[in-house]
Amino acid sequence: MISIFHLLHCLYFVIKQDASANASSGHFTRENWSNKRDYVLSMIGYAVGLGNVWRFPYLTYKNGGGAFLIPYFTMLLVTGIPLFFLESSFGQFCSQGPINIWRFIFSPLFPGVGIGMVLVTLLISIYYNVIIGYSLYYMFASMQSPLPWTSCPNTTTTTTCSDKPFVFCNVSGILTQSVQTCNPSNIIKMDVQSPSEYYWDHVALERSGGLDQTGPVVWHLALCLLLSTFLAGATLIKGIKSSGKVVYFTATFPYVVIFILLIRGVTLEGARDGIEFYIGTQSNLTKLAEAQVWKDAATQIFFSLSIGLGGLMALSSYNNFHNNVFTDTIIVSVTNAATSIFAGFAIFSIMGHMAHIYKLPVAEVVKEGFGLAFIAYPGALTKLPVSPLWSVLFFFMILTIGLDSLFAEIEVVLTSLQDAFPRVLKPRRALLTIATCTFIYLLGLPCVTRAGIYWVTLIDSFIASWVVLFLVLLEVVGVSYIYGLDRFIDDIEMMIGEHSPRFWLWWRLCWFLFTPCILLVILAWSLSTFTAPTYGDIRFPSWGLSLGWCMLFFVLIWLPIAAIYHLKQSKGSLINRMRSKSAPSKDWHPFLDMHRGERYPKNERVQGVDIPNEVDERSSHCL
Can you say which residues are annotated as belonging to the binding site for Na(+)? 45, 47-48, 52, 304, 336, 404-405
Q: Are 465 and 532 in contact (CB under 8 A)?
A: no
Q: Are 245 and 37 in contact (CB under 8 A)?
A: no
Type of residue numbered 525: W
Q: How far is CA 279 from the centre of its chain?
A: 25
Q: What share of the chain is helix, strand, coil (3-state, %, to 5)?
A: 70, 5, 30
Strand partners, 193: 161
SS3 608: coil
Type of residue numbered 38: D
Rounded distance between C-alpha atoms, residue 395 and residue 373, angstroms: 9
Helices 98-105/387-420 angle, 10° precision? 40
- Number of Cα atoms under 13 Å in the Cβ half of residue 463: 26
SS3 537: coil
Rounded distance between C-alpha atoms, residue 178 and residue 98, angstroms: 66
- What letter does residue 613 receive in the DSSP assignment? P
Three-state SS letters, 320-377:
CCCCCHHHHHHHHHHHHHHHHHHHHHHHHHHHHHHHHHHCCCHHHCCCCCHHHHHHHH
469-490 per-residue burial string, b: 16 or more CB within 10 A, e: under 16 = bbbbbbbbbbbbeebeeeebbe
Q: Are 599 and 490 in contact (CB under 8 A)?
A: yes
Type of residue numbered 390: W
Strand partners, 605: 610
Phi (first) and psi of residue 290, to 5 degrees: -95, 130
Q: Are 375 and 351 in contact (CB under 8 A)?
A: no
Distances in whole angstroms, Cα of residue 456 to Cα of each of 73, 125, 217, 236, 440? 30, 11, 14, 24, 14
Strand partners, 449: 217
Rounded distance between C-alpha atoms, residue 77 and residue 215, angstroms: 47
Segment (H or E) for 133:
helix 111-141
Rounded distance between C-alpha atoms, residue 549 and residue 545, angstroms: 6
Q: How far is CA 481 from the centre of its chain?
A: 29
Contacts of 91 (CB under 8 A, 6+ apart): 97, 98, 101, 312, 313, 314, 315, 316, 317, 319
Q: Are 47 and 332 in contact (CB under 8 A)?
A: yes
Detail the residues annotated as belonging to a binding site.
45, 47-48, 52, 304, 336, 404-405
Least Cα distance to 31 among 44, 42, 47 occurs for 42
Q: Are 134 and 221 in contact (CB under 8 A)?
A: yes
Rounded distance between C-alpha atoms, residue 598 and residue 278, angstroms: 55
Phi (first) and psi of residue 368, to 5 degrees: -130, 165
Type of residue numbered 113: V
Segment (H or E) for 498:
none
Contacts of 77 (CB under 8 A, 6+ apart): none
